[in-house]
Amino acid sequence: MLRILTVVLFIFVALPAVAAVQSKAVTYSDGDTEFTGYLYWDDAQSGKRPGVLVIHEWWGLDDYPKKRARMLAELGYVAFAADMYGTGKVTEDRNQARDWMQEVTADVDGWRERASLGLKQLVDSGMVDADRTAAIGYCFGGASVLQMSYANLPVKGVVSFHGALPAAPEEVKGKIGPSILVLHGQADTFIAPEVVTNFRNKLDEAGADWEMNTYGGVRHGFTNPDADKRGMDNLKYDARADARSWARMLAFFDEIL
């Protein structure tokens, strides 16, 4: 019996640690406004590792960006799903979503500051190598990470998935440090062709390091399986574009992180 117990104990000790993604809510503030984001990491890893900020669609910090943050943690990143509206501000009403988004985007400096606060929570986790961070965003979040690049926030790169495409302003010429990856649906009627052209031209004028992948026949929200349930014709999930865009993001991270 002792011999059996010894063998069992040896096998148990020799087994590798089983990866387990952990998460916790993180409360922070901007003036009088409280925010609650969610941090994800793999507790089978030790030491500092690359970190990725995740910014939500215009619906608020619902389950979708948390799912993406968890997926990143499963791949070995520390991920933080940031809150851009305020604790509990999540909706399925498009008019409410639009109003909340416009409250943020009306003040560009404040918009960038909110994104910066999310990045700070990621780095302050103590698990992240501050020299190896990136930010990704969906829809409103995609525009948010572009604003991070225009503000030259300390990330190596940003990835916009079906995001709005605010043009780089004149004053950022020669000052955009992060690399930019834009993943866009060609049939997204929220973004007019002339907006896309202007966006590209302004990045060139600014001297940015940028790449834009456009998926033919693909509409807005193409990465989110719940897009079709929102009751908006321009929102449609596309499994192939979802897989391709995620793979392109990972290759981008391998390059910059």
Give residue-wise pLDDT tens across range 12-64.
Answer: 344 444 569 999 999 999 999 999 999 999 999 999 999 999 999 999 999 99
Q: How far apart are CA 38 and CA 42, in angstroms?
A: 14
pLDDT for the residue numbered 234? 97
Confidence of residue 225 (pLDDT cuts 50, 70, 90): very high
- Contact at 8 Å (CB) between 146 and 166? yes
Cβ atoms within 10 A of the Cβ of 252, count?
A: 21
Report the top-level CATH class of 21-256.
alpha beta
Q: What is the pTM of this model?
A: 0.92
The closest of 73, 66, 200 to 138, measured between CA atoms, is 66
The CA-atom distances, in angstroms, between 204 and each of 44, 212, 226 are 42, 12, 35
Q: How far apart are CA 82 and CA 55, in angstroms?
A: 6
Local structure of residue 62 (DSSP, 8 states): -
Q: Token digits for 31? A: 């003036």
- Contact at 8 Å (CB) between 76 and 113? no
